[in-house]
Amino acid sequence: MSQSELRENAFAILEKAKDLMLDLYKRRPHIGPFESKRVAFVGDTHGAFEEVTKFVLGAVSKEVDLIVFLGDYVDREPPNGLENLLAILKVFADSKGEKVVFIRGNHESPLTNYYYGFYDEVTVKLGGGAYEKFKEFFSLMPISAEVNGWFVVHGGLPGLPDQEGKMELAIRRPSEINEKVSLPDENPDNPIALQLLWNDPREMKEYDFLPNMRGDGIYYFGVKPTEEFLKGDNLKGIIRGHEVANGVRVLMEGKVINVFSSVYHGESAGVLILEGNEPKEVILINPNGDVLRLPYGQVQGY
């Protein structure tokens, strides 16, 4: 395909997905609840289209009713963020949102795309000015979802300082995200939205929130805010991505499940399978391409 054909094709998929996203979600940053019999959760893919996303949208797709992508589709190596993102959006659009749910990661943002490769990738492949369209799309993407009784987000729970400056949980239940965050939000600038995309869980009991090494305004959240938040709507737990793991890592006695589905870090890419609201199985795609399936119980100790 010539560059102008590639560009036309990419913009058409992006436009179709944007129209459907706005139609289904009405610019709500928190979406759902979704209920589906058998669901696959895919963490950060970062351009691993050939290695991971193609397999998920192909073989895995046939054995599940819904595929939930946890964000971070672009940036890093291999530089296939464009193919990766468009493949996901195409299935979303073609299935009218019935087969695929996707949420935003911290890499769906100009805060990272100028430094980690996606801006350059899009500009080289599609020509000058193309990135603007993606930036606009990212600013409208949902930030969290509820799926089969689980809270689904890329990063984690947000905190804000109370009157004495002590950090406390900023949202008590998922629906508050729709009251406190409005889209579009490009960077995002809203501190709750930013932390939903960037925060990390830690199994700490002595602190609710601690400053995160990732940067200003980003935090680690502990056991207490996690339990408090889950209690609000009687949720099962949090499924999130964002941190490198050998496929899947289970924290806080199963209240937090970290799924990582990339290849750039040289470990396995993981796909978590839920049946109803129970985690059932993990599919591991090894760096050499071998696929291994494990019952969920076997990864709990990772």
Q: How far apart are the first and last CA of the chain?
A: 44
Is the Cβ–Cβ distance between 236 and 229 less than 8 Å?
no
- The pairing of strands 144-147 and 30-34 is parallel
DSSP code at position 109 = S
Q: Provide, rounded to whole angstroms, the least separation between the CB of residue 70 and Mn ion.
A: 9
Q: Provide, rounded to whole angstroms, the least separation between the CB of residue 178 and Mn ion.
A: 22
**11: helix, coil or strand?**
helix
Measured from the CB atom, the residue of 67 and 70 that comes closer to Mn ion is 70
* Residue 199 near Mn ion by CB under 5 A: no
Measured from the CB atom, the residue of 33 and 110 that comes closer to Mn ion is 110
Measured from the CB atom, the residue of 72 and 146 that comes closer to Mn ion is 72
Of positions 51, 72, 83, 281, contacts Mn ion by CB under 5 A: 72
Q: Provide, rounded to whole angstroms, the least separation between the CB of residue 241 and Mn ion.
A: 6
Q: Provide, rounded to whole angstroms, the least separation between the CB of residue 16 and Mn ion.
A: 26
**2: helix, coil or strand?**
coil
Q: Provide, rounded to whole angstroms, the least separation between the CB of residue 152 and Mn ion.
A: 14
Of positions 135, 242, 249, 255, contacts Mn ion by CB under 5 A: 242
Measured from the CB atom, the residue of 93 and 245 that comes closer to Mn ion is 245
DSSP code at position 56 = I
* Residue 106 near Mn ion by CB under 5 A: yes
Binding-site size for Mn ion (CB under 5 A) equals: 4
Task: Kindly write out the interface string for residues 123-152 of this chain, putting x where it contacts Mn ion by CB under 5 A and - elsewhere.
Answer: ------------------------------
Measured from the CB atom, the residue of 242 and 255 that comes closer to Mn ion is 242
Minimal CB distance to Mn ion: which residue?
Answer: 242
- The pairing of strands 159-161 and 150-153 is unpaired
Contacts of range 81-85, beta carbons closer than 8 Å, 24 or more positions apart: 81/46, 81/47, 81/117, 81/118, 81/121, 81/122, 82/10, 82/118, 82/121, 82/122, 82/125, 82/126, 83/47, 83/49, 84/45, 84/46, 84/47, 84/48, 84/49, 84/53, 85/134
Piece of 70-78, 212-220, 221-229, 285-293 that binds Mn ion (CB under 5 A): 70-78
- The amino acid sitting at 233 is D
Task: Kindly write out the interface string for residues 212-241 of this chain, putting x where it contacts Mn ion by CB under 5 A and - elsewhere.
Answer: ------------------------------
Beta bridge pairs of residue 237? 150
Measured from the CB atom, the residue of 43 and 222 that comes closer to Mn ion is 43
Cα–Cα distance between 68 and 42 in angstroms, integer? 6
Cα–Cα distance between 166 and 168 in angstroms, integer? 6
Q: Provide, rounded to whole angstroms, the least separation between the CB of residue 237 and Mn ion.
A: 19
Applying CB under 5 A, which residues contact Mn ion? 72, 105-106, 242
